[in-house]
Homo-oligomer: A and B are copies of this chain.
Amino acid sequence: MSDVKLERVKGTVDYLPPEQMLREEIFQKLTQIANKYGFLPMDTPILEKWETLAGKSGGGSEIKKETYNFKDQGGRQIGMRFDLTVPSARVLAMNPKMPMPFKRYQYGKIYRYQEIKPGRNREFYQFDMDTYGTESIVADAECIAMGIEAFKLFGFKEFNIRVNNRKLLKGLMGYAGVDSKKIKTALVAIDKLDKIGIPGVQKELENRGINKNSINKISKIIKIQGTDDVLNQVEELVPGNEGIKELRELIKYLNAMKIRSGYSIDLSLVRGLEYYTGTIFEISAKGLNVSFAGGGRYDKMIENFIGTKIPAVGISYGIEPIYQVLVKKRGLKKTRTQVYIVPINEKVMKKSLGLASELRALGVNTEIDLKNRNLSKNIEYANKKGIKKLIIVGERDVKEKKVTIKNIVTGKERRIEFKMTIINKAIKN
């Protein structure tokens, strides 16, 4: 017997079958959407050289502190990936002849040594879809379209897509009179609007040394929301701004893709990551303060990292919030098993196993009693497991070429002919 108390590492999670079935479904649906838009799968190691992750163009100092790293048995300094972007940049560097654009999706576990909160762990999944090698805003529109399609496919009706552009934000900060050296810090303050409201942002800005006049202008700007009309309003403030041109183009392409509602331009949307250069967007649940997915254009990040100019735009899905909301919304299914066969004794085992094989060959997910239990114990088990249909095979049944099919939810049962077509139909009804 073990002398160790068995428990998980802090910040890691087990997903038992009901939970993992739903998670598999999320991955499958996202894969299906990615494929429809011409994105193909890629897989990279969880282990990366520490130099790759810690390089100045990798994660930056914040991420470095949070990155699991260790010396392996051979003395190499190894890190565990903290996102899927840096590994992809490495792959692009190692495959310079890749035809462009390169549209890839990738999902897998990533690692951050961070404070644990509900929905925030140290080992968790991310699902990314990125287009590398083109500056075309059509690629940006595709990312947003995929996001919308995903949440429709998940059955979410209530979600918001907020869109903004870093070039426009920069221009607006200039208009507000924010010193170019202080734009970054001002944006950090604006990014907190959701959490602290306008008065909070105003205070943050003040603390960060932004002057009264600028704060007043910023306060007005971040209240502006809408679609085309917003752009007309801000055009007066920053005429000829490249970000406005890009947002107009983005809206034009979204409309061409039959997406005419469900998104708004939100001048307060910043998105934390420094590396964005143009379009930025975030998809969240209406009413809930939960971000499901987000992304944007980062045209310089790969160049900074590998020395070759490769523009990029992508969307990253937060698997945990999507999963949490789906669990609340529809609960968890307990099984994929469609029928459970109960051989009443060893004498009918042969017939029962043959039946199981034939059902499986027809594509019916079939379980058979593996503990030689009596009927009531078997019903109890099937109930716990969420299996609705039972086929009971008795000695008399075998002689008379019949079986009994029982719906354990309604309690109804009937004896039917031992013919595959009849049995199959009875399972599905």
Is A123 an interface residue, CB under 8 A from the partner? yes
- Contact flags (1/0) for A343-354 with B, using CB distance below 8 Å? 000000111111
Is A418 an interface residue, CB under 8 A from the partner? no
Whether B371 pairs with A49 at a CB distance below 8 angstroms is no
Residues of B within 8 A of A9 (CB): 45, 47-49, 76, 78
Is A363 an interface residue, CB under 8 A from the partner? yes
Cα A9 to Cα B50 with chains together (Å): 9
Given A9-B78, A47-B9, also A38-B365 (CB < 8 A): yes
Interface residues of A in 1-59 (CB under 8 A from B): 1-4, 6-10, 12-17, 20-21, 23-24, 31, 35-38, 40-49, 51-52, 55, 57
Whether A372 pairs with B335 at a CB distance below 8 angstroms is no
Residues of B within 8 A of A52 (CB): 4, 6-7
Residues of B within 8 A of A423 (CB): none
Cα A131 to Cα B370 with chains together (Å): 10
Whether A1 pairs with B307 at a CB distance below 8 angstroms is yes
Cα A330 to Cα B408 with chains together (Å): 46
| Nearest B residue (CB) for A55 | B4
Is A120 an interface residue, CB under 8 A from the partner? no
Point out which of A95, A101, A364 has the most chain B C-beta atoms below 10 A from its C-beta.
A101
Whether B370 pairs with A35 at a CB distance below 8 angstroms is no
Question: Chain B interface: which of A197-205, A232-240, A252-260?
Answer: A252-260
- Interface of A, secondary structure class, is mixed
- Contact flags (1/0) for A119-138 with B, using CB distance below 8 Å? 00011000000010110101
Whether A38 pairs with B337 at a CB distance below 8 angstroms is yes
Whether B356 pairs with A13 at a CB distance below 8 angstroms is no
Whether A336 pairs with B35 at a CB distance below 8 angstroms is yes
Which one of B7, B43, B94, B360 lies within 8 Å of A20 (CB-CB)?
A: B43
Is A188 an interface residue, CB under 8 A from the partner? no
| Nearest B residue (CB) for A305 | B2
Point out which of A15, A57, A131 has the most chain B C-beta atoms below 10 A from its C-beta.
A15
Question: Chain B interface: which of A67-75, A173-181, A261-269, A272-280?
Answer: A67-75
Interface residues of A in 181-202 (CB under 8 A from B): none
Residues of B within 8 A of A364 (CB): 36
Residues of B within 8 A of A91 (CB): 14, 16
Interchain nearest-CB distance for A125 vs B (Å): 9
Is A170 an interface residue, CB under 8 A from the partner? no
Interchain nearest-CB distance for A305 vs B (Å): 6
Cα A35 to Cα B336 with chains together (Å): 7
Is A325 an interface residue, CB under 8 A from the partner? no
Is A381 an interface residue, CB under 8 A from the partner? yes
Is A113 an interface residue, CB under 8 A from the partner? yes
Is A211 an interface residue, CB under 8 A from the partner? no
Whether B366 pairs with A38 at a CB distance below 8 angstroms is yes
12 A-B pairs with CB atoms under 8 Å apart are A7-B52, A8-B48, A16-B95, A20-B42, A24-B31, A36-B364, A69-B70, A72-B113, A74-B113, A101-B371, A257-B353, A258-B354
What 4 A-B pairs are tightest by C-beta distance, nearest first?
Answer: A70-B70, A38-B367, A17-B40, A12-B45
If A15-B41, A21-B41, A69-B70 are given as contacts, then 12 extra A-B residue pairs at C-beta distance below 8 Å, sorted by A number, are: A2-B57, A3-B55, A14-B91, A15-B44, A36-B360, A38-B365, A46-B46, A70-B70, A73-B113, A99-B385, A255-B350, A256-B357
